[in-house]
Amino acid sequence: MSNFENGKKSKLAELKNNPVKVMALIYPYILVIGVGIGLFYLAKVNDIQKQTLPPVLKDSLAQVPGDLNVELPKTVPQADVMALSQPSDSLVAAGKALFNTNCVSCHGVNGKGDGVAAAALKPSPRNFTSKDGWINGPKISGIFKTLSEGIKGSAMVAFDTFTPQQKFALAQYIRAAFVPNPPQDAKEELTELSQTYHLSQEQKSPGQIPIADAMVLVNRDAGAKYQKIMDALNMINKNSNDNGAAIFNKITSDKIKALTMLSSTDEWKNNEQTFVDLIVDELNEAGFNDKVHELSNSEWDSFYNYISKVL
């Protein structure tokens, strides 16, 4: 064995018997590792914090329902109640398609009132296979009423965008598929149904436009009205020598208010008495003053003629 190896061996042997020396030897390494971890932590402290789960905050804006769609005015065709209340395969098929898209979430595919949304609902959706608990009943007329008006105090809302034909189709499907021995409507019940919902006449449903567009129209309209009032005011200021303009200046306490009131309605345009009544009735609230009462008939005439021209 060489001297070198001997020396190494004896050093190791010495260390074994002296744990304090071992500590002293490895202490610098522990220190370096410890400080290293510390520095790493400091450098990453932002990321480490970010990895903790943030509190769940719902975005309230995301819950605002979408704006309305453009819908053109529609003509709802008249419905022949007697024909539509006869069971027919094509109506049942149309009803099934409508039911599967619009109703199963609550009433379930088998009509047992066990759709995915049902558990949370009180009262729970009707079980069509049971005779119990019906409010309007499973006759065609009853189901039609339910679909037209909804059931107050429950999740069953009115499906009033459906045409009468679609409502009959749904009624036919529910009765054919789920209701055991569905009871028949008496002829009088069908006649009454037709009358109540004006089914024998064509009906018009109004169109709708998105609220955002409606606001633009409202603002545009308000802008036009404002412009009209300002034009009238400029005219009156320019014509201050005109008898009508002089009267206006004399009997108003707030010119813009007075012009706004007068431009808010056309009622007075064909009738001087209406014009006089309007001003006398509203007087102070409408920007006029007590001097109104001093006007002679001929002054009223020239005032009326003048305002008819500028507004």
> Does residue number 139 form part of the binding site for ligand HEC (CB under 6 A)?
no
Distance CA 117, CA 108 (A): 9
Among 141, 132, 122, 115, CA closest to 179: 132
Count of residues in contact with ligand HEC, rule CB under 6 A? 26
Cα 76-80-84 angle, rounded to 5 deg: 105
Select 141 or 194, whichever has its Cβ closest to ligand HEC. Answer: 141
**Shortest Cβ 204–ligand HEC spacing (Å):** 23
Question: DSSP 3-state assignment of 27?
Answer: helix
Q: Give, as ranges, the residues between 146 and 205 that touch ligand HEC (CB under 6 A).
A: 146-147, 151, 154-156, 159, 170, 174
Select 113 or 287, whichever has its Cβ closest to ligand HEC. Answer: 113
CA dihedral 122, 126, 130, 134 (to 10 degrees): 90
Contact call for residues 95 and 172 (beta carbons, < 8 A): yes
Select 130 or 260, whichever has its Cβ closest to ligand HEC. Answer: 130
Distance CA 311, CA 302 (A): 14
Q: Which stretch binds ligand HEC (CB under 6 A): 61-69, 81-89, 141-149, 266-274?
A: 141-149
Q: Which stretch binds ligand HEC (CB under 6 A): 139-147, 191-199, 263-271, 295-303?
A: 139-147
**Shortest Cβ 269–ligand HEC spacing (Å):** 50
**Shortest Cβ 167–ligand HEC spacing (Å):** 8
Q: Give, as ranges, the residues between 89 and 128 that touch ligand HEC (CB under 6 A).
A: 102-103, 105-107, 117, 121, 123-126
Select 127 or 252, whichever has its Cβ closest to ligand HEC. Answer: 127
DSSP 138: S
Select 15 or 135, whichever has its Cβ closest to ligand HEC. Answer: 135
Select 121 or 283, whichever has its Cβ closest to ligand HEC. Answer: 121
**Shortest Cβ 111–ligand HEC spacing (Å):** 9
Q: Which stretch binds ligand HEC (CB under 6 A): 36-44, 140-148, 234-242, 286-294?
A: 140-148
DSSP 55: P
301 Cα distance to chain centroid: 51
Distance CA 65, CA 41 (A): 45
Distance CA 179, CA 128 (A): 6
Select 156 or 199, whichever has its Cβ closest to ligand HEC. Answer: 156
Select 143 or 232, whichever has its Cβ closest to ligand HEC. Answer: 143
- Selected binder of ligand HEC within 84, 92, 140, 143 (CB under 6 A): 143
DSSP 210: -
Contact call for residues 244 and 305 (beta carbons, < 8 A): yes
Among 239, 248, 238, 234, CA closest to 299: 248
**Shortest Cβ 168–ligand HEC spacing (Å):** 11
Q: Which helix (H) or strand (E) holds 224?
A: helix 211-238
- HSE toward the beta carbon, residue 142, CA cutoff 13 A: 14
**Shortest Cβ 270–ligand HEC spacing (Å):** 51
Distance CA 235, CA 311 (A): 10
Binding residues for ligand HEC, rule: CB under 6 A, are: 102-103, 105-107, 117, 121, 123-126, 134-137, 142-143, 146-147, 151, 154-156, 159, 170, 174
